Structure 1
């Protein structure tokens, strides 16, 4: 084991997906608080009851309240963000760090090469750091709505494709991308094993797949297991998608929300009496800090090929 990780199988419909001995492991404080550091835990094969390539989940586990055609649900473009500004900032900051590390490693092998990125379940914005655009090579989006994809200026090309109907990425050859991203959409996948298999196939050795999510969703379209789980269970669930799909070198669960900021010290009565503007300045700063600290949570499960 890389960590004393307690698998949260009790809230997942198919507890058979996870190692029966896992419930006896000590849960680390960093895992329960979910805010002590970015790395919450790393998954090992021993954390799962079945071998890679098998699949423990049933049709009921991935059933949805609204099983109708997704094309109708996503027919109208939604030019909105599905997480708050603080979560978006946390995600872009994480991308900046992760993209930079992958780029550096690639330069050591192939100097002058650029990052090829696939954004799954893409929309009108991908949240990639703009200052790294000169390091991007082929940026490709796959999503449901053509109008949203066309509006995404960070994509070099895009494909409108319903991954729940056709999970194959047959338009791409093996080892085509350095990074795969998926933002707050892993909960809607009804054929995750096939999609994660394809992610592994099209990634280059050493490449990473970054599955990010928060605590918001369209409940009618999320799979049953997702709705029954809390944040810990969802990290475990996505980790199992990686494990059962292919032989990933590493599977890591991370909390990428920016650390909480301390509230500024309130000025004394004497200070306020001497300069009343200090009270207004403090109230404004304290309000901004409170808003920042109360933003949406943001998690990533990262698979490295």
Structure 2
């Protein structure tokens, strides 16, 4: 494989640092073994019992909610895939949904969790590791106006065993100019995450997810730092202490990034 990577560029035009992704490979660089898991059993069984917990801390949730407030449309249709009992959307999105100006489709693995999510206009049970195609039911009809205007996924892209196929299907269900926002942290169920995720650094995970989007056909791919490792490193006195506290499992905020792309 030949690399086509270029130096990363960082934009300070928003309230968060934004790094432009540049394609690193001319062909798909990953092997089937990269997507094996230590627990290959059915995800339907693993997610059978509801988990009414949050998988990132309150600070990360607040950062993600502020990001969503800045980037998500308030008209049209949004898909929250790998969804659960909470989507971390801001009040403006909820208000638009209640007014009927916005449809929010939740697709996940546990019915009780989806039923408890008040932001959702409709709900769909679907295992993306059993069938990597995004079901046609996420759109209201074949009309372009009913296709997706944005999609979100919170700390779950690392569980998908066929991420390129999922994101290719998502692109097909998305309107031109529509966007996808994949939130990433450093928490996971280690037995269910794909094997390569556990072998590489946080920076490489972000590049890997960017690769997923690129080879699925998404463009204008960017990595947005909502409060992660880079932010700590910029603190001349506090960065080292924060990294030490994180290594000891002490009170440090969860890092949170978003890898995003646009349909041309």
- The match for 2:82 is 121
Please name the residue that 1:224 is paired with. 195
Would you say the 8 A contact 1:174–1:202 is kept in 2? no
Is 1:159 aligned to 2:124, yes or no? yes
Q: Which runs of 4+ in 1 moved over 4 A?
A: 25-28
Q: CA deviation at 1:21?
A: 5.9
Tell me which of 174, 177, 183 is aligned to 1:212: 183
Q: 1:60 aligns with which of 23, 33, 57?
A: 33
Structure 1 residue corresponding to 2:219, chosen from 245, 249, 253 = 249
Query: How far 1:243 moved relative to its partner?
Result: 0.8
Q: SS at the partner of 2:34?
A: coil
**Aligned 1:158-237 pairs, distance under 5 A:** 158-171=123-136, 172=139, 173=142, 175=144, 176-237=147-208
Residue number among 20, 39, 44 corresponding to 1:42 in the alignment: 20
**1:143-187 alpha-carbon deviations (Å, 9 max, x no partner):** 000111111111011111101001212323475111100000000
Query: Matched residues in 2 for 1:26 and 1:210: separation?
Result: 23
SS of the aligned residue for 1:121 comes to strand
Q: Scaled by the length of structure 1, what TM-score is found?
A: 0.70
CA distance in 1, matches of 2:135, 2:87: 22
1:143 match: 108
Change (3 A) 1:181 1:174: farther
Return the alpha-carbon distance in structure 1 between the equivalents of residues 35 and 80 of structure 2.
Answer: 23
Larger radius of gyration, structure 1 or 2?
1
Are 1:20 and 2:8 an aligned pair? no
Please state how far the C-alpha of 1:202 moved relative to its aligned partner: 1.1
Q: Structure 2 CA distance, aligned partners of 1:300 and 1:26?
A: 19
* Equivalent pairs, count: 232
Measured in 1, the distance between the counterparts of 2:130 and 2:179 equals 24
Q: Which runs of 5+ in 1 are unaligned?
A: 1-15, 104-113, 263-292
In structure 2, the partner of 1:87 is: 60
In 2, the alpha carbon distance for the partners of 1:217 and 1:238 equals 15
**Which structure shows the bigger proportion of residues in helix conformation?**
1
Match of 2:246 in 1: none
